[in-house]
């Protein structure tokens, strides 16, 4: 097929989302993988599940071979209009609360649960030795 420099919107690409007509967006390029569905080593389900979105991360996470990447050229249709693709949000961990009084009291309780039995044991051992020496 080969692309002719055509630019597609994500909405246009999303219309091609079934086994008879399947397009994917990978690294800013649009691919018609309909003819490849049966031959895809990972099965057609993974390709079909990647329609309607930017499938670059899905493609890269699998670790495709150089020959697989070269094969993509024959399915190339054109480029995606990046303005139509929602930006991927990076995961940012929630901010940790600064100083939490409740956590401190939990820590003190756990510390006391550990120390009190040791003190009792120490007192018992001390009394035993005191009684033996008296």
Q: Which of 29, 21, 27 is nearest to 3 (CA)?
A: 29
Q: Are residues 121 and 78 in the same domain?
A: no
14 is in which domain, residue-wise? 7-84
| 31 backbone dihedrals φ, ψ, rounded to 5° | -125, 135
- Alpha carbons within 13 angstroms on the beta-carbon side of residue 1 total 18
Q: Are residues 25 and 73 in the same domain?
A: yes
Q: Are residues 107 and 50 in the same domain?
A: no
Q: Are residues 74 and 105 in the same domain?
A: no
Q: Are residues 109 and 76 in the same domain?
A: no
Q: Are residues 15 and 72 in the same domain?
A: yes
Q: Are residues 29 and 68 in the same domain?
A: yes
pLDDT for the residue 104:
61
Give domain status of residue 1, yes or no: no
Q: Are residues 102 and 38 in the same domain?
A: no
CATH number at residue 34: 3.10.120.10
CB 25 within 8 A of CB 12: no
Q: Are residues 73 and 15 in the same domain?
A: yes
Q: Are residues 105 and 75 in the same domain?
A: no
pLDDT for the residue 134:
61
Q: Are residues 107 and 74 in the same domain?
A: no
CB 16 within 8 A of CB 50: no
Give domain status of residue 92, yes or no: no
- Alpha carbons within 13 angstroms on the beta-carbon side of residue 58 total 15
User: Domain total for the chain?
Assistant: 2
Tens of pLDDT along the chain (134 residues) come to 555 679 999 999 999 999 999 999 999 999 999 999 999 999 999 999 999 999 999 999 988 999 999 999 999 999 999 888 887 656 666 666 555 555 667 777 788 888 888 889 888 888 887 777 66
Give domain status of residue 91, yes or no: no
């Amino acid at each position: 097929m080969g692309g002719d420099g055509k630019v597609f919107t994500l909405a246009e690409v999303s219309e091609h989302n079934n086994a008879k007509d399947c397009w994917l967006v990978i690294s800013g390029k649009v691919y018609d993988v309909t003819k490849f569905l049966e031959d895809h080593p990972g099965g057609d389900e993974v390709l079909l599940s990647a329609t309607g979105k930017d499938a670059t991360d899905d493609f890269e996470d699998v670790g495709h071979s150089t020959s697989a990447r070269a094969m993509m050229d024959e399915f190339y249709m054109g480029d995606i209009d990046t303005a139509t693709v929602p930006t991927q949000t990076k995961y940012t961990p929630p901010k940790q609360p600064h100083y939490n009084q409740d956590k401190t009291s939990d820590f003190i309780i756990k510390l006391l649960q550990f120390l009190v039995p040791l003190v009792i044991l120490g007192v018992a051992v001390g009394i035993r030795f005191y009684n033996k020496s008296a």
